[in-house]
């Protein structure tokens, strides 16, 4: 990294509807990775010239301790994470003046305001002034998980697995989606951990960006739940299950579910260091198309259909993403440096532009695998009007099933030297096993 | 308000650990009050010169609707709340240029960044550039609740009451505080509403700023829960109950609980339009001191003790606050304009400086009443060392009970033309009624 100072901005409290009404606190993940302290009001730096590591923060006053009870000092907390040098926040400006300061892309407006004031620059300058070499070094380190990190990711995935089992056991016709979204949070909160992102809990699985929970579950629906918990060390879990509100899938639901599941297994079997995740994505697309041809919703040659992009009628998004302290790991550092690299740039084609990870896998990476089939009425109209995929899509049958919904199956994996290991407690994913759980739940 | 434009900034999504991982969305309360739309990406204005009311926002593109499903347009949503004029966001700069723009204090950094860019001013200028007359008009309107608002506040208080009853029924020795904090959220979430602030759920009720949930409940402890739900229209509830982990209070717990409860009843009986909330606070302080003298923890004359500030050993905070769309209603507008006025300024004495509401009550106000007794070891040391209250405090007995903890009882009230009305479903608050619930729960 040469000379100067590596600056690590710690997150502050985040206000809801007035300054002192706060959302639950979450530290910045890169700050956590290097400095381990999950509390607001801290910044840190590594001085490349002196070799010093410093945490900046202010101790509570005696007056404040009356309100908070006794608290460890910044120096005591820093010592616990191996940092000897601590300064009060008012020392930051002087420390950084006339230094070359490397910082990461800013994603919280509080930091834009803070940095603009610190360096007397405009917001636009702050937003564009991040250090590319700093990004690349952090992305390389955080991408490969240590045994301690993998253990924490296992913990997150096990709690996540428990969330999904709970929903499969408790969902019933007549319930509201928000009741089940509440159970997602409850499973995490009762173990003193948080959720890693706002859950998707919906009978309209084809709506990919969906945080509406107002629908009522009815017989014949499938419920899609995409949810995850954080571990106690704040690593993420992220899984999806899709199951029938009845005890069994309908015949078309089961056929398409099994197609998605077959593609899921194929991706898992093929995962290993050296393989491009882009190629796994394309493998999954081909298997999905083969299955859709069998069902009659597509036609033609699978390879040609995928090459033409016709699979994006059913699979509009990417096969998965990196995961770690962030559910989309290091998304704030930029996909170009996390999911891609100088050799492989992201495509801007519909479908591939939503693939967050394309580059070669390496041992120690942690990724999600989440193929799906989504039947989106608006997309049928749009693509039919374009006339692009007439050779590959059986529009007359597809339009009959325009209200089918969506299916996704998602698990989390660590890449090992010769393959991939499932994270967390294994959870039913075949249609038969899911129906067994539903039958037991509803009996 | 004269001439120019009244600007109402709508809240954006708030990022957790990367830009697109969001906290649950919450609209700004003043925006909700005047424009009623609880979704991100909107701003609004009232043009004082033309009389026009305008909402600025961008419709989803056809590409985005593939991901979100069909959504109403900005124009459709605006029409539902009675606004005919809508513009895209890129029209704001031109609309506001060369106009006198009145805006309210900014509490979210996203708005500081947005406004600084909009007006090409520094963030310090933006933070100080709010309109005092705009604040005063909004504070006057929002302070007096309409029948529709009162109905929503009743709903919030009833869900809140249910939260507290649930905790009284479910708490048991051996449980962790976080398990009960989870139940707080669950009661709200299962009814498709959110909590109005992060709950306090603690066996260390004397720690006034406490969002730590790691302690284990044991026999002999009291659990203090200060929590509230929002209504479906986003009005706040805010109640506190303190109850024994055993089925009964210890004798000292019961004595002090009854003192707090007596002060609570006295404040409620005295509440009516025209009375200063400051005077209710001082009434409560006197009753607390009388009770503490009976118990032997204080001595001397109650009036003199309160005049000297000796009650602040036990009651360090204020009796209550305004409540509405915010749990501390309009706190972002500034206490000087919400809880006080030009005739009555807030005291900066310890104790009174924490009283958020001092001014005369009026019919239609909604307030909390939350007296308490808190025994804070750090404060005993500090005040004893100061020597200030030797005439009023029995230090030898107090030091014996330094680990007593804290008690608070809080309910929500609407000020009526001749008194005050409890909001929400009534909930047990006498020591006898609380013990009855605990006995039934533990039997």
Question: Does B159 lie in the same domain as B114?
Answer: no
Closest CB from B190, B204, B207 relative to A179: B190
Task: Please indicate, yes or no, whether residues A104 and A249 belong to a single structural domain of this protein.
Answer: no
- Domain interval for residue B182: 147-442
Instruction: Name the closest residue on chain A to residue B122, using Cα atoms.
Output: A122
The answer to whether B298 touches B310, Cβ cutoff 8 Å, is: yes
B35 lies in the same domain as B125: yes
Q: Which residue has the tokens 């001085």?
A: A47
Q: Which residues of B touch A107 (CB under 8 A)?
A: 15, 18-19
Residues in A 89-128 with any Cβ partner in B closer than 8 A = 107-110, 112-113, 116-117, 123-124
A137 found inside a domain: no
Is A135 part of any domain?
no
Q: What percent of chain B has pLDDT over 70?
A: 100
Q: pLDDT band at B211, cuts 50/70/90?
A: confident
Residues 417-436, chain A, touching B (beta carbon < 8 A): none
B97 and B226 inside one domain: no
Closest chain B residue by Cα to residue A112: B113
Residue B209 is predicted with a pLDDT of 85
Q: To 10 degrees, what angle do helices A147-170 and A431-442 make? A: 50
pLDDT value of position B63: 82
Report yes or no on A139 lying in a domain. no
Minimal-distance CA residue of chain B relative to A210: B68
- At A32 the pLDDT is 98
Over residues A312-322, the pLDDT tens digits come to 999 999 999 99
Q: What is the pLDDT of residue B321?
A: 98
Using the beta-carbon criterion (under 8 Å), do B176 and A192 form an inter-chain contact? yes
User: To the nearest whole angstrom, how far is the Cα of B326 from the nearest Cα of chain A?
Assistant: 7
User: Element (H or E) spanning B45, and its range?
Assistant: strand B43-47
- Half-sphere exposure of residue B195: CA atoms within 13 angstroms, side-chain side: 23
Provide the CATH number for the domain around residue A180: 3.90.230.10
Which of A130, A156, A182 is the last residue in one of the domains? A130
Residue to substitute from B9, B14, B16, B374, interface A, most A β-carbons within 10 A: B16
pLDDT class for A114, splitting at 50, 70, 90?
Answer: very high
Same domain, B172 and B31: no
Domain end, chosen from B96, B130, B164, is at: B130
pLDDT at position B103 over 90:
yes
Mean pLDDT of A285-306: 98
Q: How many CB atoms lie within 10 A of CB A424?
A: 20
pLDDT score of B66 = 84
- For the cut 90, the answer to whether the pLDDT of residue B359 exceeds it is yes
| Whether the predicted pLDDT of A66 surpasses 90 | no
Rounded mean pLDDT, A233-253: 98
Contact across the interface for A123 and B108, Cβ inside 8 Å = no
Q: What are phi and psi of B432, to 5 degrees?
A: -65, -45
- Cβ contact, residue pair B204, A116, below 8 Å: no
pLDDT at B210: 86
User: Are residues A207 and A241 part of one domain?
Assistant: yes
Does the residue A142 lie in any domain? no
Residues B300, B227 within the same domain: yes
Same domain, yes or no, for A66 and A98? yes
Q: How many domains, chain B?
A: 2
> Of A89, A104, A130, which residue sits at a domain end?
A130
A214/B208 CB distance under 8 A = no
Using CB atoms and an 8 Å cut-off, which of residues 155-194 of chain A contact chain B? 176, 178-179, 181-182, 185-186, 189-190, 192
In A, which residues are within 8 Å of B16 by CB distance?
14, 23, 26
Residue B305 has pLDDT above 90, yes or no: yes
Q: Check: CB of residue B261 under 8 Å from CB of residue B287.
A: no
Å between B228 CA and nearest CA of chain A: 13
Residue B109 burial (10 A CB sphere; 0-12, 13-18, 19+): buried
If you average pLDDT over residues B62-69, what whole number do you get?
Answer: 86
Q: Which chain A residue lies closest to B16 (C-alpha atoms)?
A: A26
User: Which of A123, A208, A332 has its CB closest to that of B19?
Assistant: A332
Phi, psi of B223 (to 5 degrees): -105, 125
Rama region for A300: left / alpha / beta (φ>0; ψ in -120 to 50; rest): left
Query: Which residues of B fall within a CB distance of 8 Å from A175?
Result: none
pLDDT at B62 over 90: no
Q: Looking at beta carbons, which residues of chain A come within 8 Å of B15?
A: 107-108
The verdict on B35 and B165 lying in the same domain is no
Shared-domain flag, residues B204 and B108: no
Q: Tell me how close the Cα of B266 comes to any Cα of chain A, in angstroms.
A: 26
Complete edge-to-edge strand list for the sheet that includes strand A85-87: A85-87, A53-56, A43-47, A5-9, A101-102
Interface residue A327 vs chain B (CB under 8 A): yes
Cβ–Cβ gap B328/A18 under 8 Å? yes
Instruction: For residue B135, tell me if it sits in a domain.
Output: no
Q: What is the pLDDT of residue A1?
A: 85
The model's pTM is 0.96
Confidence of residue B247 (pLDDT cuts 50, 70, 90): very high
What is the average per-residue pLDDT within B75-102? 96
DSSP code at position B291 = H
Same domain, B158 and B224: yes
B155 and B103 together in one domain: no
CATH number at residue B96: 3.40.350.10
Whole-angstrom Cα distance, residue B189 to residue A186?
A: 10
Cβ contacts (< 8 Å) between A198 and chain B: which residues?
22, 24
Cβ contacts below 8 Å, chain A against chain B, sum to: 164
Mean pLDDT of B387-404: 96
Q: Which among B268, B273, B164 is positioned nearest to B223, based on CA atoms?
A: B164
Distance between A418 CA and the closest CA of chain B, angstroms:
32
When pLDDT is cut at 50, 70 and 90, the band that residue B1 belongs to is: confident
Residue A73: per-residue pLDDT: 96
Q: For residue range B123-168, list pLDDT tens digits in order.
A: 889 999 999 999 999 999 999 999 999 999 999 999 999 999 999 9
Q: What whole-number distance in Å separates Cα of residue A104 and Cα of residue A119?
A: 15
Domain assignment present for A168: yes
pLDDT above 90 coverage of chain A, percent: 94
Query: Is the pLDDT assigned to residue B327 strictly greater than 90?
Result: yes
Interface check B81 vs A, CB under 8 A: no
- What's residue A316's pLDDT? 96
- Mean pLDDT, all residues of chain A: 97
The phi and psi torsions of A224 (rounded to 5 degrees) equal -105, 125
Of chain A residues 200-219, which have a CB less than 8 A from chain B? 204, 206-210, 213-214
pLDDT number for residue A60: 93
Q: Select the residue of A20, A192, A325 nearest B331 (Cβ to Cβ).
A: A20
A207-222 confidence digits (pLDDT tens): 998 889 999 999 999 9
CB B426 within 8 A of CB B164: no
* Chain B residues touching residue A325 (CB < 8 angstroms): 17
User: What is the pLDDT at residue A210?
Assistant: 85
User: Do B189 and A178 count as a contact with CB atoms less than 8 A apart?
Assistant: yes
User: Once rounded to an integer, what is the mean pLDDT over residues A362-369?
Assistant: 98
User: For residue A19, what are the CA distances in angstroms to A35, B331, B332?
Assistant: 27, 8, 6
Please report whether residue B136 resides in a domain: no
Residue A384 pLDDT more than 90? yes
Least confident of A210-214, A344-348, B76-80: A210-214
* CB-based burial label for A342 (10 Å; 0-12, 13-18, 19+): exposed
Compute the mean pLDDT over every residue in chain B, rounded to the nearest whole number: 97
Say whether residue B17 is in contact with chain A using an 8 A CB cutoff: yes
Banded pLDDT at B414 (limits 50, 70, 90): very high
Q: Which residues of B touch A327 (CB under 8 A)?
A: 21
- Do the domain assignments include residue A24? yes
Please check the confidence at residue A62 and state whether its pLDDT lies above 90: no
């Amino acid at each position: 990294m040469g000379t100067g100072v590596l600056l690590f901005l710690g997150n502050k409290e985040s206000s809801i509807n007035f300054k002192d009404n706060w959302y639950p606190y979450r530290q910045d993940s890169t700050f956590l990775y290097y400095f381990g302290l999950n509390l607001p009001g801290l910044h840190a730096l590594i001085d490349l010239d002196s070799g010093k590591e410093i945490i900046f923060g202010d101790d509570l006053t005696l007056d404040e301790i009356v309100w908070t009870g006794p608290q460890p000092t910044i120096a005591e907390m820093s010592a616990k994470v191996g940092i000897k040098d601590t300064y009060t926040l008012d020392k930051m400006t002087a420390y950084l003046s006339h230094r070359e300061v490397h910082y990461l892309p800013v994603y919280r407006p509080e930091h834009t305001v803070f940095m603009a004031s610190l360096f007397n620059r405009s917001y636009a300058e702050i937003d564009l002034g991040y250090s590319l070499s700093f990004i690349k070094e952090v992305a390389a380190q955080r991408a490969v998980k240590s045994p301690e990190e993998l253990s924490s990711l296992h913990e997150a995935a096990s709690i996540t697995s428990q969330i999904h089992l709970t929903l499969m056991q408790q969902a019933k016709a007549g319930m509201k989606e928000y009741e089940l979204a509440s159970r997602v949070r409850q499973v995490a909160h009762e173990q003193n951990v948080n959720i890693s992102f706002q859950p998707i809990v919906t009978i309209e699985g084809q709506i990919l960006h969906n945080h509406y929970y107002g629908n009522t579950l009815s017989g014949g629906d499938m419920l899609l739940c995409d949810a995850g918990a954080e571990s106690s060390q704040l690593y993420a879990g992220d899984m999806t299950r899709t199951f029938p509100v009845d005890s069994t899938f309908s015949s078309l639901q089961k056929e398409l579910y099994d197609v998605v599941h077959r593609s899921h297994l194929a991706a898992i079997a093929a995962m290993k260091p050296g393989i491009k995740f882009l190629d796994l994505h394309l493998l999954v697309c081909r298997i999905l198309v083969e299955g859709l041809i069998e069902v009659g919703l597509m036609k033609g040659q699978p390879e040609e259909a995928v090459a033409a992009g016709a699979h994006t009628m059913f699979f509009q998004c990417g096969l998965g993403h990196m995961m770690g302290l962030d559910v989309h790991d290091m998304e704030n550092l930029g996909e170009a440096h996390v999911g891609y690299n100088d050799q492989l740039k992201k495509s801007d084609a519909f479908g591939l532009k939503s693939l967050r990870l394309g580059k070669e896998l390496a041992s120690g990476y942690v990724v999600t695998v989440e193929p799906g089939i989504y039947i989106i009425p608006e997309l049928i109209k749009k693509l039919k009007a374009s006339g692009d995929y007439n050779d590959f899509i059986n529009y007359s049958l597809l339009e009959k099933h325009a209200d089918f919904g969506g299916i996704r199956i998602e698990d989390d994996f660590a890449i090992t030297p010769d393959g991939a290991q499932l994270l967390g407690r294994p959870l039913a994913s075949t249609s038969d096993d899911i129906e067994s759980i539903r039958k037991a739940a509803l009996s």
